[in-house]
Each structure stands twice: as structure tokens, then as C-alpha cells.
């Protein structure tokens, strides 16, 4: 088993920390503190709900921004700085480099998410002075967000293997939005009553990454339990999709002329 992806991942993580990526946590902390204090003053009966909704949404949005904007630069930055050539002149295969980069960013996102979750827990405790048994759903929702971020990171990395950071950002964002609306795309096809259209939209529904699967924020906010079957199904779905995208990225990247 090669240790190279692990080494690349650790270095990618260190680089992200050096680039002060985790500074977004300060903004997150300030936002949670303000929300905890303010919401009780300006609304009725939703202090707890707002903390959970705002916390989980912020974890997701901050994570998405990081996954997309850092993800699209993972390869291009190495090419620009010419560090990739040094790296590839050593016994490092291109797929190992890609998997390492993916792992590094995922590690960064995991650390970031874990710290934000702690902040969310602190704010929740401040507002309600206790935790409920149903709050376990919040952890499941955070886990789903992480799965979503893994998928977005893989997509950003894939696009960055063959296009500029700007285009990669647009492509990744486009796929993300299409993935959120995949069910609607299928439903539009059904509405047309055209068999070809119905077939096409159905194919799109299954081919596009279904980001709606990972949305458990509302359920977590209302303390609803999330079925264990959904947890493993989502885990398997994300793992399969990430594997698919990374394999495709490796195939594209291995054929890329870096001269």
C-alpha cells in the first residue's frame, strides 16, 4: 500500500492551514455568538431552531466555498508554481498525487467542520442550557454535510485537471446547483409527456450527483430521528460517487500534457 497519497494529503492540509484557511472559523464564531444573543430579541420561539439551522447552514456554506475555491486550485496552483514537476519527477504517480490532494482538502474540511460543530454545540448550550437526546440528529446532519463536501471536492478536483480555476469553479457550481435540482429536472421531464424528454431527464436524475440526499438540516432542527439505513446508504452513495469522479480525474490527468 503506497503511503504517497497520505504524505501529499498531510502536506495539502499543512498548506491550507498556512494559507489561513481556518480563519473562517472566527467569522463563524462571531456569527453564532451574535445569533445566540440577537434572535431571542427579534423573534418568537425559535432561538434553538435558529442556532441549529444557522449553524448547520453555515457549516455547509463555508464548507462548500472552501471545497470549491480551494479544490479548483489544487492542481493549477501546483502547475503555476512548478512544484508539480518536481513532485512528479519523483516516484509519485499522478493518481496518487490527485488522491493525496483530495484527502488533504477533505482533512482540512473535516477539521474545519469539527471545530464549527463544537461552536454550534456551545451556542446551543448557551441558548437552551442543556442538550436533548434528539440532538444526535445534528451530528448526523453534520456527517451528511461532510459527505456532500467530499463529493464537491472531488468534482472541483476533477474539473481542475483539465480547465482553468475560473472555469472549474463555474463547472463545479453548475453541477452542484443541478444536483440540488436533480429531482425537479426529472419532474419537468415527466410534465412534458414526451417519452424522449422523460428518458433524458430520468438519465440526468441518476447521473447527476443528488445533493438533496445529504440535506438533513430541517430534520435535525426539529429533532427528528434519521434512519440508520439512510446513513449507510448516503455513505455508500458518496463513496461510490467520489471514487467514480476521482477515477475519471486520474484518467484525465494522466493523459494531460504538462509540458
Partner 1 sequence: MSGQSHTRSLRFALLTIPVLLLAIVWLQTRIDVDTRTIAQEKEELLVRSAPLLKKLSLGYESLLADIYWTRAVQYYGTNVMLPGHKFELLWPLLDITTTLDPKLIVAYRFGAIFLSEPLVGAGRADLAAQLVERGVAANPDDWHLDADLGFLYYWYLKDYEKASAAYLEASKKPDAPVLMKMMAAEVAAKGDSFAASTAIWSEIFETSQDPAVKKNAFQHLQSLQAQQDLLALDKYAEDYRQRNGRYPATTKELYETGIISGIPLDPAGIAYVFGPDGKAQLDPKSPVILDKAAKRSPR
Smaller CB distance to partner 1: residue 150 or 217?
217
Convert 68-104 to b/e letters by CB count within 10 Å (16 or more is b). bebbbbbbbbbeeeeebeebeeeebebbbbbbbbbbb
Instruction: Convert residues 207-246 into a mask of x (bound to partner 1 by CB under 8 A) and - (unbound).
Output: ----xx--x-xx--xx------------------------
Shortest gap between Cβ of 180 and partner 1 (angstroms)?
Answer: 5
Three cell numbers written together for 165: 480555476
Identify the DSSP state of 212: G
Q: Cβ(179)–Cβ(209) under 8 Å?
A: yes
- Residue 50 or 226: the one with the smaller Cβ distance to partner 1 is 50
Closest to 22 (Cα-Cα) out of 118, 138, 134: 118
**54 belongs to the binding site for partner 1 (CB under 8 A):** yes
Binds partner 1 (CB under 8 A): choice among 60, 108, 160, 234: 60
Q: Closest approach of Cβ 65 to partner 1, in Å?
A: 13
Q: Which C-beta is closer to partner 1: that of 8 or that of 217?
A: 217
- 50 near partner 1 (CB under 8 A): yes
- Considering CB under 8 A, how many residues would be counted as binding partner 1? 24
Minimum distance from residue 226 beta carbon to partner 1 (Å):
14
Residue 96 or 148 having the CB closest to partner 1? 148
DSSP string for 15-83? HHHHTTGGGHHHHHHHHHHHHHHHHHHHSSS-HHHHHHHHHHHHHHHHHHHHHHHHHTHHHHHHHHTTH
In this structure, the dihedral spanned by the alpha carbons of residues 121, 127, 129 and 134, taken in order and rounded to 10 degrees, is: -60
Please identify, using beta-carbon distances, which residue of 220 and 246 lies nearer to partner 1. 220
Which of 60, 108 has the CB closer to partner 1?
A: 60
- CA within 13 Å, CB half, 23: 5
Cell matching residue 59:
457549516
Contacts with partner 1 in 118-157 (CB under 8 A)?
A: none
Residue 181 binds partner 1, judged by CB under 8 A: yes
Where do contacts with partner 1 occur on this chain (CB under 8 A)? 39, 42-46, 49-50, 53-54, 57, 60-61, 177, 180-181, 184, 211-212, 215, 217-218, 221-222
Amino acid at each position: 500500500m503506497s503511503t504517497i497519497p497520505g504524505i501529499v494529503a498531510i502536506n495539502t492540509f499543512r498548506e491550507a492551514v498556512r494559507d489561513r484557511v481556518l480563519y473562517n472559523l472566527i467569522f463563524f464564531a462571531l456569527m453564532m455568538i451574535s445569533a445566540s444573543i440577537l434572535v431571542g430579541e427579534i423573534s418568537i420561539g425559535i432561538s434553538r431552531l435558529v442556532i441549529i439551522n444557522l449553524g448547520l447552514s453555515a457549516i455547509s456554506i463555508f464548507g462548500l466555498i472552501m471545497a470549491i475555491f480551494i479544490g479548483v486550485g489544487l492542481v493549477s496552483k501546483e502547475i503555476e508554481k512548478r512544484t508539480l514537476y518536481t513532485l512528479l519527477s519523483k516516484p509519485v504517480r499522478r493518481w496518487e498525487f490527485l488522491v493525496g490532494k483530495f484527502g488533504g482538502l477533505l482533512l482540512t474540511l473535516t477539521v474545519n467542520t469539527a471545530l464549527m460543530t463544537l461552536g454550534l454545540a456551545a451556542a446551543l448550550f448557551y441558548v437552551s442550557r442543556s442538550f436533548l437526546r434528539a440532538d444526535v440528529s445534528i451530528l448526523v446532519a453534520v456527517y451528511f454535510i461532510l459527505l456532500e463536501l467530499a463529493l464537491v471536492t472531488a468534482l472541483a478536483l476533477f474539473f481542475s485537471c483539465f480547465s482553468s480555476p475560473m472555469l472549474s469553479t463555474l463547472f463545479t457550481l453548475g453541477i452542484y446547483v443541478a444536483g440540488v435540482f436533480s429531482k425537479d429536472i426529472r419532474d419537468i421531464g415527466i410534465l412534458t409527456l414526451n417519452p424522449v424528454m422523460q428518458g433524458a431527464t430520468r438519465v440526468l436524475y441518476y447521473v447527476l450527483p443528488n445533493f438533496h440526499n445529504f440535506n438533513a438540516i430541517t430534520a435535525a432542527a426539529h429533532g427528528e430521528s434519521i434512519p440508520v439505513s439512510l446513513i449507510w446508504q448516503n455513505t455508500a452513495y458518496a463513496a461510490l460517487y467520489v471514487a467514480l469522479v476521482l477515477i475519471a480525474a486520474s484518467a484525465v490527468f494522466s493523459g494531460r500534457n504538462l509540458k
